[in-house]
Amino acid sequence: MYSYRGRYLVIDLTTRTAEVAELGHSLLKDYLGGVGLGTRLLYERCPEGTDPLDPGNPLIFASSSLTGTMSPASAAHAVVTKSPLTGLLGDSLSFGNWSLSLKSAGYDALVITGRSDTPVYLWIDDDYVHFRQADGLWGKGASETSKSIRSQAGDGRVQVAAIGPGGENLVRYACISNDGYRQAGRTGCGAVMGSKRLKAIAIRGTQPVSVFDGDEMRRTCAGLYSRSQAARKQNFRGLGTPYNVMLLNRIAALPTWNFQEGAFPGAEDVSGEKLADTCLARVVACPTCPLGCEHLYSASHRDRDNSNIETALDYGSLSALGPMCGINDISTILKAALLCHSHGIDTISTGNAIAWAMESFQKGILDRNDTDGVDLAFGNGEALLQMIDLIGRRAGLGSLLAEGVMRAATVTGRDSDQWAMHTKGLELPGYDPRTMKTQALALAVGLRGGYYNRSSSYELDMVHILDRMESQTGWGKLNMEQEDLAAIFDSLITCKAMRDSFTNFLPEAAGLYTVATGIEMSAGDLRLAGERINNLKKVFNIKHGWKKADDWLPPRLLQDPVTFRESQSVVLSPEVLRALIEDYYTARGWTSEGLVPVTKMRELGMADILEEGNS
């Protein structure tokens, strides 16, 4: 077998045992790797009714066919588990040297089940798996944990993925960090890891990766590297993703004050341009990425210790910790991002949860008794930082916010669900769907809850492929195609930032897959794999309690207008959204109730799933 390892490692933390299981060609071809393979393994191993924080919920790390090769922006892994936020499929990607180590240790995936009595960390040295005591690491941040394990090992080849205090404290949107500063951020995989009392996974992988046709791979990749330099230079290499701040602000799609508005008066102060002018330290790349979009910023912050902040910041984090909470001070946002990283909690969910609390405070639903005296007004940077710390430690109001906005609003009541900005329990990202109709559909039907990255449908709205203020029949199909493409990117794995570097993605990516693995793959096969993966995600969700009502948007987006160009106000009506969703179900070949018919599953070659008695 080329590139793939043909096997995965199953680790049971309860019994402290590890065993190797085989992976066949056909399953790998059908589900590719990454998110696809992870979803498939999760489907097999997560029984109906499993609570996400139960020992029985498998935590899966999946590598892929292109990972470990020179294929551009491929050094990644997917984390797949039943999400503690949504109770449905949770998947998240991260990039870095840890991903390369997983592959070079000789596994296509790690499946971790059970729960340890006491804190442990795993030390995987190629074929050897050690369970090591982690009492001394418990309570430390991910970056500190990584440093400590690596220095103890005394070998720079050791790479570490770890949770911070947020994961230990079961914050429902805790993340898993690798390489000290990269995160598998969304859907709360860090809380699942914390529930297993697993602090970290250290890997030393030393086995080379062989590909089927190295010369052809080199030719194809050289072309992609050079095209990547022309494409998207401005967005990614130039200002980085914070480039989006001014762009979205202009089109009234920059969520402000918890989605009360779509444009922020302080946008210029927190823009990519401002960041580049005042505090950009360096631009770096993940391994194998020819683009390099990771912008590292450095600033001093006027607080108790007048600390110097050094951190990466992407648009998603910036929007949630900035305009969403009404913050217009860059150094506060950088400090907030750094604080989220050291607690190991997702910046987007954190900012969104605090914005919900700020609005509740504004409306008098929460008062100073609830906030331990903190003036939780929009724009109060000091309050933002205090809240992040409380969430990470699950102290005071932080304990409520650590549950995510959906649960926090349910507990709080008094109509506070009206401004709980989530779908399926996953806090919404920084793209206001009222002025982006395809994005509205994508967020409503999103298979892992409200997020843009599993469809990238906002692209259609932003590049004027269609009129983002309108909605028409046929957009359901467009969203489906975008979702299937995203599933292919997430499973191959290739970072979506490489999108524009391909001239014709499907045939080129299928070609890359074949030169890596030696397995025949046509453009049609690959497209079908994307569709199959998304259908499997849906079947998983149905099995775990998805209801049609879950495919919907928060009330605010369907009632309150957003001001656009000062005079116009834009609202997304329930009728429009309903029509878009119906159009999408039809395009997918699903029933009007959003269920996957048996015929569809047969058509996609998912008969083996049916045999297990699901329909």
Partner 1 sequence: MERRRIVCDAKLCTGCRLCEFACSLTKERQFALELSRIRIVQAGLGQTTATLCRFCRNLSCVNACPRQALTYSADTATIELDKGRCAGCGWCIEACPFGAMVLDGRTKTVAVCDVCYGLSEPACVELCPQKALTVQALNKA
CA-to-CA separations, 467 to 183, 328, 562, in angstroms, rounded: 34, 31, 17
Residue at token pair 């892994």: 77
> Least distance (Å) from partner 1 to the CB of residue 233?
11
Q: Indicate which single residue of 64, 288, 319, 438 sits in contact with partner 1 (rule: CB under 8 A).
A: 288
Task: Specify the amino acid at residue 574.
Answer: P
Asked if 377 interacts with partner 1 (CB under 8 A), we say: no
Comparison of 69 and 187: residue with beta carbon closer to partner 1: 69
> Least distance (Å) from partner 1 to the CB of residue 95?
11
> Least distance (Å) from partner 1 to the CB of residue 224?
9
Asked if 296 interacts with partner 1 (CB under 8 A), we say: yes
Asked if 280 interacts with partner 1 (CB under 8 A), we say: no
Asked if 290 interacts with partner 1 (CB under 8 A), we say: yes
Asked if 281 interacts with partner 1 (CB under 8 A), we say: yes
What mask of x and - would describe binding to partner 1 in positions 478 to 507, judged by CB under 8 A? ------------------------------
What is residue 222's three-state secondary structure? Answer: helix
Q: Indicate which single residue of 42, 70, 374, 402 sits in contact with partner 1 (rule: CB under 8 A).
A: 70
Span from 21-29, 251-259, 275-283, 462-470 in contact with partner 1 (CB under 8 A): 275-283
Find, among 413, 352, 453, 392, the residue nearest to 91 by Cα. 453
> Least distance (Å) from partner 1 to the CB of residue 70?
4
Burial degree of 111 (CB within 10 A; 0-12, 13-18, 19+): buried
Asked if 210 interacts with partner 1 (CB under 8 A), we say: yes
What is residue 15's three-state secondary structure? Answer: coil
Asked if 214 interacts with partner 1 (CB under 8 A), we say: yes
The whole-angstrom separation of Cα 158 and Cα 146 is: 9
Asked if 284 interacts with partner 1 (CB under 8 A), we say: yes
> Least distance (Å) from partner 1 to the CB of residue 292?
4
The whole-angstrom separation of Cα 215 and Cα 304 is: 57
Instruction: Note whether 555 and 418 are within 8 A (CB).
Output: yes
> Least distance (Å) from partner 1 to the CB of residue 116?
31
What mask of x and - would describe binding to partner 1 in positions 301 to 340, judged by CB under 8 A? ---------x------------------------------
Q: CA 518, 532, 88: angle at the middle one, nearest 5?
A: 125
Task: Specify the amino acid at residue 169.
Answer: N
CA-to-CA separations, 133 to 88, 130, 161, in angstroms, rounded: 31, 10, 16
Comparison of 247 and 285: residue with beta carbon closer to partner 1: 285
Using CB under 8 A as the binding rule, the residues of this chain from 335 to 364 that contact partner 1 are none
What mask of x and - would describe binding to partner 1 in positions 131 to 170, judged by CB under 8 A? --------------------------x-------------
What is residue 2's three-state secondary structure? Answer: coil
Asked if 225 interacts with partner 1 (CB under 8 A), we say: yes
Comparison of 248 and 312: residue with beta carbon closer to partner 1: 312
> Least distance (Å) from partner 1 to the CB of residue 287?
5
In sequence order, what are the beta bridge partners of 7?
22
The whole-angstrom separation of Cα 324 and Cα 321 is: 6
Asked if 37 interacts with partner 1 (CB under 8 A), we say: no
The whole-angstrom separation of Cα 37 and Cα 31 is: 5
> Least distance (Å) from partner 1 to the CB of residue 100?
7
Asked if 414 interacts with partner 1 (CB under 8 A), we say: no
Q: What is the DSSP string of 89-140?
A: EEEEEEESHHHHHHHHTT-SEEEEES--SS-EEEEEETTEEEEEE-TTTTTS
Comparison of 249 and 311: residue with beta carbon closer to partner 1: 311
Query: Is the CA virtual torsion 470, 474, 477, 478 positive or negative?
Result: negative
Asked if 212 interacts with partner 1 (CB under 8 A), we say: no
Asked if 219 interacts with partner 1 (CB under 8 A), we say: no
Query: Token pair of 341, please?
Result: 């990283």
Residue at token pair 């008066």: 265
Comparison of 289 and 486: residue with beta carbon closer to partner 1: 289
Q: Indicate which single residue of 53, 115, 181, 582 sits in contact with partner 1 (rule: CB under 8 A).
A: 181
Q: How many residues bind partner 1 (CB under 8 A)?
A: 37
Longest dimension (CA), the chain: 67
Asked if 473 interacts with partner 1 (CB under 8 A), we say: no
The whole-angstrom separation of Cα 615 and Cα 610 is: 6
Q: Indicate which single residue of 137, 211, 442, 486 sits in contact with partner 1 (rule: CB under 8 A).
A: 211
Q: Indicate which single residue of 208, 364, 413, 613 sits in contact with partner 1 (rule: CB under 8 A).
A: 208
Comparison of 477 and 496: residue with beta carbon closer to partner 1: 496
Asked if 100 interacts with partner 1 (CB under 8 A), we say: yes
The whole-angstrom separation of Cα 100 and Cα 354 is: 35
Span from 158-166, 292-300, 459-467, 502-510 in contact with partner 1 (CB under 8 A): 292-300
Residue at token pair 């009632």: 559
Find, among 117, 33, 43, 111, the residue nearest to 82 by Cα. 43
Q: Indicate which single residue of 36, 68, 404, 450 sits in contact with partner 1 (rule: CB under 8 A).
A: 68
The whole-angstrom separation of Cα 481 and Cα 526 is: 12
Query: Token pair of 239, please?
Result: 């200002």
Task: State the SS3 of 353-400.
Answer: HHHHHHHHHHCCCCCCCCCCCCCCCCCCHHHHHHHHHHHHHCCCHHHH
Span from 37-45, 163-171, 203-211, 479-487 in contact with partner 1 (CB under 8 A): 203-211
Comparison of 284 and 610: residue with beta carbon closer to partner 1: 284
What is residue 193's three-state secondary structure? Answer: helix
The contact set with partner 1 (CB under 8 A) reads: 68-70, 75, 100, 104, 157, 181, 206, 208-211, 214, 217-218, 221-222, 225-226, 228-229, 281-292, 294, 296, 310
